A and B are shown apart, each in its own frame.
Chain A
Amino acid sequence: QVHLQESGPGLVKPSETLSLTCTVSGGSVSTTSYYWGWFRQPPGKGLEWIGTIYEAVSTFYNPSLKSRVTISADTSKNELSLRLSSVTAADTALYYCARELRGAAAGVNADSWGQGTLVTVSS
């Protein structure tokens, strides 16, 4: 059974870079069987896909965030990383990492999720 756990600062200043880590157990971030994705949910609002990595090196990004997002994987630690630059208050959200069923598209079929970590952007 795969387990995902997000971690990182809960408070980030405007214009700075948000950095989160997702520790994966019970599965490998370099597997060819699944994708690994990041999603977010502003408090009281709906879900948004941020981006996905597969086979530890190839990435898909939400076009609306692409210029600010970097997703990477550390196979030695079996971890995923998310970096979001130039953050504003609009980036305040609960950030989730998730495992995705590999298929025709990324960001659509996330079958296992971490518990999420709240990131607030404020000075």
Chain B
Amino acid sequence: QSALTQPASVSGSPGQSITISCTGTSSDVGSFNLVSWYQQHPGKAPKLMTYEVSKRPSGVSNRFSGSKSGNTASLTISGLQAEDEADYYCCSYAGSDRVLFGGGTKLTVL
């Protein structure tokens, strides 16, 4: 199964907003509101940032927001902070017990 498509890298300055895209197909992202986003700092375990497209787990800053339009999901980070510099992965259910991850996006805070 093909991975979801994410940009390899994005960057932004402190205080700015950035958006990371995650493109799938009508069989996965487009069919299910079961898209999640993970943040992973170097050498650390992933951290769930949003799930079911736009829900945030308890304790996650409201600067992180998820959305979806058609076959593309997005993670927007507002008020960018140095601590947001990390790798970000999207994930989508694809039916029949299939789960797809994106290849990851490296966020650099300039």
> B-contacting residues of A (Cβ < 8 Å)?
39, 46-49, 60-64, 96, 98, 101, 103-111, 113-116
Q: Are A47 and B46 in contact (CB under 8 A)?
A: yes
When chains A and B are docked, how far (Å) is the Cα of A63 from the Cα of B47?
Answer: 24
When chains A and B are docked, how far (Å) is the Cα of A70 from the Cα of B57?
Answer: 29
CB < 8 Å: which of A46, A101, A115, A116 contacts B51? Answer: A101
CB < 8 Å: which of A49, A105, A111 contacts B32? Answer: A105
How many B residues face the partner with a CB closer than 8 A?
A: 26
Chain B, 14-26, contact with A by CB distance < 8 Å: what is the 0/1 string?
0000000000000
In this complex, the member of B1, B3, B45, B103 whose beta carbon has the largest number of chain A beta carbons within 10 angstroms is B45
How many A-B pairs fall under 8 Å by CB? 71
Q: Are B34 and A47 in contact (CB under 8 A)?
A: no
CB < 8 Å: which of B34, B38, B45 contacts A105? Answer: B34
When chains A and B are docked, how far (Å) is the Cα of A101 from the Cα of B96?
Answer: 19
Smallest distance from the beta carbon of B103 to chain A beta carbons, Å? 5
When chains A and B are docked, how far (Å) is the Cα of A113 from the Cα of B61?
Answer: 19
When chains A and B are docked, how far (Å) is the Cα of A110 from the Cα of B101?
Answer: 13
Q: Are A46 and B93 in contact (CB under 8 A)?
A: no
Q: Are B96 and A63 in contact (CB under 8 A)?
A: yes
Q: Are A62 and B48 in contact (CB under 8 A)?
A: no
When chains A and B are docked, how far (Å) is the Cα of A63 from the Cα of B34?
Answer: 18
When chains A and B are docked, how far (Å) is the Cα of A21 from the Cα of B99?
Answer: 23
Q: Which residue of chain B has the shortest Cβ distance to A110 in the bound complex?
A: B48
When chains A and B are docked, how far (Å) is the Cα of A110 from the Cα of B96?
Answer: 19
